[in-house]
Amino acid sequence: MPLQLPKSSWNTTELEDLRELARSFLQKEAVPHQERWAAEKKVDRELWTKAGEVGLLCLSIPEEYGGGGGTFAHEAVLYEEQARAGDSAWGVTVHNGIVAHYLLAYASEEKKRAWLPKLASGELVGAIAMTEPGTGSDLQGIKTRAVRDGDHYVLNGAKTFITNGFHADLVVVACKTDPDAGAQGVSLIVVETDTPGFRRGRILDKVGMKGQDTAELFFDDVRVPAGNLLGDAEGQGFVQLMLQLPQERLIIAVTAVAGLEAAVDLTLAYTKERTAFGRPIFSFQNTKFTLAEAATETAVARAFLDQCIERHLKGELDVQGAAMAKLWTTERVNKVIDDCVQLFGGYGYMTEYPIARAWADVRISRIFGGTSEIMKEIISRSL
């Protein structure tokens, strides 16, 4: 019997219909291919167009731009089902919840109408390039440079750890338009990857999330139209990033809590079926106490996440609240899944078991989107 938690307060009948669509799509198009995608370090390109055909891309983008016209709740349902399906390969959270929203918020009307419908159909795959080989959490320290040259910007630099980097057709690039202005010198410029001078490096070999095409990107005198600048002036990039990062961190919290729920369900089923010393593993006090604690941590994380989603739907989730959500849920999911692996014993370390893959996949959650240490720094500023 799976873990029984109250229905999320933001859930609706319409969302349950979407949940069923997302679940069936993932079971058909993602679950059977996990091992192959992990070996190839990328998903199939046609996965994106198939998702576009059934309406799973750009769920929270207005219909006038080809999107689903929904809210963050629609996105959350898709991300939950992806986590519960055990798929960490498809970079839809970045495409839907991050890249599309940078364009919606800051691109010109002309560019929105050019790019967003193609993101919604899967014709274009989106990525965002912030991290550099020598710069992690310190976005003010980025070296990628964009120099204005008439009606164009000329970009030079390198980015790493870029989700969807191999398939990306459109990359939102954080760069310096004024290298002497600190945070005020950061701008966001959209690069179409068929532009001369853009090239992809290797797909990186990661500990977990092995099927996700995380790549290096290089910009060598890449000329892009000045109209690809996001915002109405240079130097707005850092503020734009700060305004959008709360949603990115909430997305990470959504996947963390869904991962918690899935891990506890897997472990409950395993410990009730597996026997040791002539009785089910679940009957041992250590197992029951470990799972009792895991179930409680999962319930608390779910309640806090639901509160944060409600606040976000009302436009009330602040930077500190999103940081708390990311910090708490990612720390919990790492602890609980580690405890679950222990209950699986040696089988918990075998990659054919979903719990082992989940254990490797979730470790990055304490790092990407801002490390746990950065989250604590952000939270402390409000105290």
Q: pLDDT tens, 90-124? A: 999 999 999 999 999 999 999 999 999 999 999 99
Identity of the residue numbered 48: W
Average pLDDT taken over every residue of the chain: 96
Mean pLDDT calculated for residue range 240-260:
95
Which residues participate in catalysis according to the annotation? Answer: 248
Q: Quick one: pLDDT at residue 119? A: 98
Residue 134 has pLDDT above 90, yes or no: no
At a CB cut-off of 8 Å and minimum separation 6, what does 89 contact? 30, 33, 34, 37, 38, 42, 43, 209, 210, 211, 212
Alpha-carbon distance 46 to 64, whole Å?
24
Q: Quick one: pLDDT at residue 10? A: 92
Tokens 């079926």 sit on residue: 273
- Contact present, 203 and 42 (Cβ < 8 Å): yes
> Using CB atoms within 10 A of its CB, is residue 367 exposed (0-12), middle (13-18) or buried (19+)?
middle
Residues in the chain: 383
Mean pLDDT calculated for residue range 232-245:
93
Q: 0.75 exceeded by the pTM? A: yes
Q: Quick one: pLDDT at residue 136? A: 67
Residue 55 has pLDDT above 70, yes or no: yes
Using 50, 70 and 90 to split pLDDT, how confident is the model at 172? very high
- Contact present, 83 and 109 (Cβ < 8 Å): no
